[in-house]
Structure formats: C-alpha cells, structure tokens
Amino acid sequence: MYLSKDNVIFNFNKDHTPVLRVTTPATLDVETFDCFSNQLRDPSDRMDQLDWERINPATGPIFVEGAEPGDTLKVSINRINLNEKGTICCMENEGTLGHMIKGTHIRIAPIENGIVKYLNFEIPVKKMIGVIGVAPMEGAINTGTPGHHGGNMDTLMITEGATIYFHVAVPGALFALGDCHAVMGDGEIGVSALECPATINLTLDIIKGKGPEYPVLENKDEFAIIVSKPTVDEAIFRATELMCEFLEQRLTTYSRPEIIMLMSLVGNVQISQVVDPEKTVRFVFPKKYAPGAKF
Ligand code: CA
Ligand code: ZN
C-alpha cells in the first residue's frame, strides 16, 4: 500500500476526512514533505519566500479500521528512505539562540551514502521522524505542537526499528506523520534539523485497550516514555512517574522504592526538543533490567 504526500494535514483533528482506510495489520509506504512543504530546496531559495501556512505538513490522516477510543495504536517504523538533500534554517527570535542573530538563514546539505555534507564536515546520517501521531478527542492540535497524541515530538529515537504506542482517542485513530530529519542533535536548539522529504515504510496494528497517557516507545534494547509539557521540568516529572508505574506493573516482585532506585541507577532522562510550543523529554529504561517485559 502506498500513500502519497498529496494529502496533508496541518493539525491533528477528528474532523478531517481520512485519505486512506486500512485493516490491521497494515504495512504501507507513506511519502512525506519536509517541514517546509518542500518550499526551500535550492541554495538560491530564501526564507522570506516561505508560505508559513504550510509548515509541518503531516501525510494523512489514515483511518485504522477497528481502532476505538481507549485502544492502543501500535506503529512500527520499518524503514525511512530520505531524499538526497536536506534543508536547515535558523532565525531571529527562534530556538535557544534566536536572540543572538538577525534575520533568517538557510543552508541546503547533500546526503550521500549515509553522510550529510555541511560546511566542511561529514556528519553521519541519523534518520528520524519529527511529527507522528493521532487525533485528539476534542479540538485541533497544530502539527507543530507535541502532546498526549504524539505530534511534533522531534525525538531521535523515533527511527527505523522503533515501535511507538499511541493512545487512540477517536474512532479510526486518524494517524498521520511527516517532518523527517536526516540528522538532529537532542534539543533541536536552532529550531530546525536537517529537514528532509522521505518515504517511510511502517506497520500499523491495534492493541485493544491499554491506551497510554503519553506515547511509549520500544526498540531492541530500550523502553522510553515520551512526555511533552510547557516546561522541561514538568515533562521530566511526568515521564519518570509514568515509567515508574510501567515498571511496577511488570516487575511485580520489587517494591516501589526498589524500582525507583533501579531507575535512578540505569534509567536516563533525555531531552528530545526544547524549541516547540511544549517541550519534549523522554525517560529511557534498558530492557535488560526488565526481563520479559512487554508493552
Ligand atoms: Ca519538528
Ligand atoms: Zn523538522
């Protein structure tokens, strides 16, 4: 199955008409624009030609047959195929250093054999998906904002081999994604990664019930809970609380204080991004200290 980037949304909203209906398990290729809707793709392009109404397009939404409120949408990222070049920008009053520059600036960087060429440097590609999520129960959430529904989480771990579990809030889940990055550092401090059009191969499935408060991620070696809040501090507190509960339900022979001490010894607070309307943090716990644990 293939879904082209012709149909995009700029907010997660239950009122959007689905552009595809799938029966699970469903494996499909989804084509995505970069976060600028591919408007800045040549070195001669200028930031001031940008139509700001078309920022952060997410391809979709996809109606997942049988997904009901309270269920879990399981999304496995099989492959990310990037375009051969990406765009990065920084601008006045955006990001953590926006007060230190004037105007807007962009650079185009080629991507070849897993290497990004930027200035005189060769930077290894670290593919990831910036925007991925489902519709909230009520209202519309801009695709630039992260939250309970996922959205613009800009999290490095959302990459090939990862499985992400989302809380289904509306019938069909209304899943959408976009904003792939060829490389980004934790924090995304300059407000942009190397933004890149892409095609993502993914598998959608439903787990009845169990819808998590915030997206939960699993890869070969780790579990992560990805929390977005107005401040990093608030996000850290909620991410650790949720991981503590997650582990308590699975490591039932240990007490809460023992689990907290284990989390303190081997778990990691990691910053996903600090430049979006809500800040995103993940608490990461190695699976080897949770033997046999499943989502
Ligand atoms: Ca983003
Ligand atoms: Zn992006």
CATH of the domain at 282: 3.10.28.20
Mean pLDDT, rounded, for 112-139? 98
Domain membership of residue 177 as a residue range: 2-212
- Nearest ligand atom owner, CA of 184: 2
Total domains, the chain: 2
In this structure, the answer to whether residues 103 and 122 fall within a common structural domain is yes
Higher pLDDT, 48 or 180: 180
Q: What is the pLDDT of residue 92?
A: 95
In this structure, the answer to whether residues 14 and 98 fall within a common structural domain is yes
294 assigned to some structural domain: no
295 assigned to some structural domain: no
In this structure, the answer to whether residues 6 and 150 fall within a common structural domain is yes
Check pLDDT > 90 for residue 153: yes
130 assigned to some structural domain: yes
43 assigned to some structural domain: yes
How much distance in Å is there from the Cα of 106 to the middle of ligand 2?
Answer: 13
Chain centroid offset of residue 256 CA = 30
Check pLDDT > 90 for residue 43: no
163-187 pLDDT, tens digit per residue, is 999 999 999 999 999 999 999 999 9
CATH number at residue 204: 2.60.120.580
Provide the terminal-to-terminal Cα distance of the chain, rounded to the nearest Å: 27
Last residue of a domain, one of 212, 247, 276: 212
- Nearest ligand atom owner, CA of 179: 2
Q: Cα dist. 291→144, 251, 254, 284 in Å?
A: 36, 8, 13, 15
In this structure, the answer to whether residues 109 and 197 fall within a common structural domain is yes
Tokens at 29, concatenated: 């290729």
Is the Cβ–Cβ distance between 228 and 220 less than 8 Å?
Answer: no
List phi, psi (to 5°) of 284: -115, 130
Tokens at 5, concatenated: 């980037």
Q: What is the pLDDT of residue 267?
A: 98
The rounded mean pLDDT for the chain is 97
Confidence of residue 46 (pLDDT cuts 50, 70, 90): confident
Mean pLDDT, rounded, for 235-239? 98
DSSP string, 57-115: -EEEEEEETT--TT-EEEEEEEEEEE-SEEEEEEETTSSTTGGG--SEEEEEEEEETTE
How much distance in Å is there from the Cα of 279 to the middle of ligand 1?
Answer: 11
Q: How many CB atoms lie within 10 A of CB 32?
A: 30
Is the Cβ–Cβ distance between 77 and 200 less than 8 Å?
Answer: yes
How much distance in Å is there from the Cα of 257 to the middle of ligand 1?
Answer: 36
Chain centroid offset of residue 69 CA = 21
How much distance in Å is there from the Cα of 23 to the middle of ligand 2?
Answer: 29
In this structure, the answer to whether residues 242 and 167 fall within a common structural domain is no
Check pLDDT > 90 for residue 220: yes
Confidence of residue 44 (pLDDT cuts 50, 70, 90): confident
Q: Which residues pair with 26 in a beta bridge?
A: 204
In this structure, the answer to whether residues 64 and 197 fall within a common structural domain is yes
In this structure, the answer to whether residues 204 and 119 fall within a common structural domain is yes
Q: What is the pLDDT of residue 214?
A: 98
Last residue of a domain, one of 212, 241, 272: 212
29 assigned to some structural domain: yes
92 assigned to some structural domain: yes
25 assigned to some structural domain: yes
Mean pLDDT, rounded, for 57-65? 98
How much distance in Å is there from the Cα of 86 to the middle of ligand 1?
Answer: 14
Q: What is the pLDDT of residue 48?
A: 81
- In the block, tokens 């650079």 appear at 107
In this structure, the answer to whether residues 227 and 200 fall within a common structural domain is no
Check pLDDT > 90 for residue 129: yes
List, as ranges, residues with CB under 5 A of the ion ligand 2: 35, 130, 179, 193, 195
Q: What is the pLDDT of residue 121?
A: 98
95-104 pLDDT, tens digit per residue, is 999 999 999 9
In this structure, the answer to whether residues 208 and 222 fall within a common structural domain is no
How much distance in Å is there from the Cα of 119 to the middle of ligand 2?
Answer: 20
How much distance in Å is there from the Cα of 95 to the middle of ligand 1?
Answer: 12
Q: Which residues pair with 163 in a beta bridge?
A: 76, 218
Last residue of a domain, one of 212, 245, 276: 212
Confidence of residue 295 (pLDDT cuts 50, 70, 90): very high
How much distance in Å is there from the Cα of 255 to the middle of ligand 1?
Answer: 38
How much distance in Å is there from the Cα of 154 to the middle of ligand 1?
Answer: 5
How much distance in Å is there from the Cα of 182 to the middle of ligand 2?
Answer: 9
How much distance in Å is there from the Cα of 255 to the middle of ligand 2?
Answer: 41
In this structure, the answer to whether residues 96 and 240 fall within a common structural domain is no
In this structure, the answer to whether residues 275 and 146 fall within a common structural domain is no
Q: Cα dist. 92→56, 220, 235 in Å?
A: 19, 40, 26
Q: What is the pLDDT of residue 49?
A: 85
Q: From CA 174, how far away is CA 21, in angstroms rounded?
A: 9
207 assigned to some structural domain: yes
In this structure, the answer to whether residues 144 and 244 fall within a common structural domain is no
